[in-house]
Structure 1
């Protein structure tokens, strides 16, 4: 956004012009707010981004160097579509090569070419491809790396992408869980390194289940088949081990390395050479210089894990003891409080019962008194009625006698 200081670098600002600029900005903002949202198509979005890319290298001829890789033979508008791969990585760019220049290019040769960068929008894949249209072949030489070396790099990159597994962490976990596991060690037919490994195990030898498989370590096919056999039988850790000496080229074989990468079990090497690191060592989950070092590793891992477990258990026992003590103390306090509450409730209940008893006795006494009063009243009424009845009888007798007397005299 252009600022006033950009318009007036010396600091002199006309107030009228300033107000005019501010008014234009407000009008523009109001216009933007009143606009309906613009709906784009996927192709429109791709072309917007494609048109927004602006590099100096796209405006002039540049020079590239890399390994020429033939394409599938696609021919369009007088040009072939091939690739130029980086010499040390798997990065590559699409080449648009005229037919005349392509006839001079050789597969997997390191070439230096001139050309200009172009872009192609791929609508059905939502991407913008960067291409180089070749204008001149400057030079062509033998590759810096052989095909086999490039394959080795690809194998190592594949292992790095898959990840190196934690052998020691896995063993520790099995020790803590007390899960037995199988270790298959591939050694030479006449080798004595099995004794070196066992000697280093010391007291931990009772825990590990080691099986030694004697084969011809100079045979690529036998090594591959033994690796497959151990993996198919569920061996947890597969080890290729040998003593010192030369003849390490067998462990640089691509097929053996590819087989090792494909193993389901953990893969370890103890090949016995410090300076010359082979491809098989580079793709192993863990590599040791000597068989004795591998045995020492197993023993140290076992002892350290047991010590850590014992220390952890002691801490756990102490922690659990504290937790139990605290819990019991809390329960005792709760019980004491409950007893106190019961005593108070008992006292309250006794007082309430005494009050109810007294109220009931008072009620009974009052009822008895009322009954007594009513009884006395009824007796009095009956006695009164009895007196009236005798008087009437006497009057009736006297009246009868008078009537008899009168009748006799008449």
Structure 2
């Protein structure tokens, strides 16, 4: 716990952390004079305690260090020249930036020569590094995919005002000319503003933009930083077909694909079209064979499944027939039993009904007999009355 409290109580300031690392950074070269070489890049030109704070940069990259030049030696140095000198390494802690700067102090100037790389060379190098970071897009794969999907790519070719290379490209296209949506646009290839304007204008709604020029000298225009920078920001594919084998321009180095001569570009498109069509035909043949084999296998499997289902249905039919027969026999017996019960009930009801009817007949017969007897007595009384009347009449007549 005491160690934990001690660790908690130990609080560092940012400057203390910087000093810790500053003291930890120790190299053998910092303890002696060393020989250095690089391009001199002047700073603001202000004198700080007898020193000018300039920079020294690599000849082949953008790496640089702060260079402390004594005031007496400063007038001897020329901007952009390569200098060799004796000096020593120092470090400076930048508190407000949280960093440690490595500095070089000039002790003795040994040599100063014209730098073999100009500022434009470094700018060109930066553009190439930027293109490498962005990546070189695969023009070939894009065109092959477009051919396979039957979506002809839109290609716009920028050529000189008086150029005849469009006929060379068309001639090399041969039978594939009718497939590509290719158009030619004449511009002033000697004017940097015209080239930049044409590149920006014709890159809209375009799949592939081509800058093409025939053979000859005066290719320096294609080394212009501004032209390469404008082409670097294009969304479409960039292709160059500049007729010069020995001299590779900056524009060619930042293009997605380059050709030595314009005719080579036309030949490339034609060969790519034929190759893709041939591959597509082979692929279709392989696909048909594969699909046929797959369909056959599926058909055989389906037939096998159907046979199995038919077998199961036959077995089910046999079982169902047997079960139905047994069921029908049971139902028939039950129906017969129910019919016997119904018949017996009906017979009993008939018997009871006949008995009731006989009883009613007997009652009616008795009533009829009684009525006949009463009728007989009635007629006897009438006859007796008539006889009595006749007797009385006879007696009185006498």
TM-score by length of 2: 0.74
Question: Cα deviation per residue 1:353-397 (whole Å; 9 max; x = unaligned)?
Answer: 333444556667888999999xxxxxxxxxxxxxxxxxxxxxxxx
* SS of equivalent to 2:148: helix
- Aligned partner (choices 284, 290, 294) of residue 265 of structure 2: 294
How far apart, in 2, do the equivalents of 1:350 and 1:216 lie? Answer: 95
Equivalent runs, 1:360-399 vs 2, <5 Å: none
- Aligned partner (choices 241, 263, 268) of residue 234 of structure 2: 263
2:182 is aligned to 210
- Aligned partner (choices 272, 279, 295) of residue 250 of structure 2: 279
How far apart, in 2, do the equivalents of 1:46 and 1:303 lie? Answer: 66
Equivalent runs, 1:318-337 vs 2, <5 Å: 318-337=289-308
1:355–1:220 distance in 2 versus 1, CA, 3 Å? same
How far apart, in 2, do the equivalents of 1:225 and 1:185 lie? Answer: 14
* C-alpha deviation, 1:172, in angstroms: 1.1
Aligned 8 A contact 2:61 2:122 in 1: no
1:3 is aligned to none
Aligned 8 A contact 2:176 2:273 in 1: yes
Question: Cα deviation per residue 1:225-268 (whole Å; 9 max; x = unaligned)?
Answer: 2212212x322222222222222222222222222222222222
Give the number of equivalent residue pairs: 341
Determine whether 1:160 maps to 2:132: yes
1:201–1:362 distance in 2 versus 1, CA, 3 Å? same
* C-alpha deviation, 1:220, in angstroms: 2.5
State the Cα RMSD in Å.
3.4
1:26 is aligned to none
Determine whether 1:56 maps to 2:48: no
1:316 is aligned to 287
How far apart, in 1, do the equivalents of 2:314 and 2:48 lie? Answer: 103
Question: Cα deviation per residue 1:140-167 (whole Å; 9 max; x = unaligned)?
Answer: 3321222333333333333223222222
1:124–1:337 distance in 2 versus 1, CA, 3 Å? farther
Structure 1 spans left out of the alignment, 5+ residues: 1-33, 374-410
- Rg (Cα) greater in structure: 2
1:85 is aligned to 57
- Aligned partner (choices 241, 251, 263) of residue 212 of structure 2: 241
Equivalent runs, 1:135-150 vs 2, <5 Å: 135-150=107-122
1:337–1:139 distance in 2 versus 1, CA, 3 Å? same
Structure 2 spans left out of the alignment, 5+ residues: 345-398
* C-alpha deviation, 1:200, in angstroms: 0.7
Determine whether 1:223 maps to 2:195: yes
- Aligned partner (choices 89, 106, 111) of residue 78 of structure 2: 106
How far apart, in 2, do the equivalents of 1:46 and 1:322 lie? Answer: 73
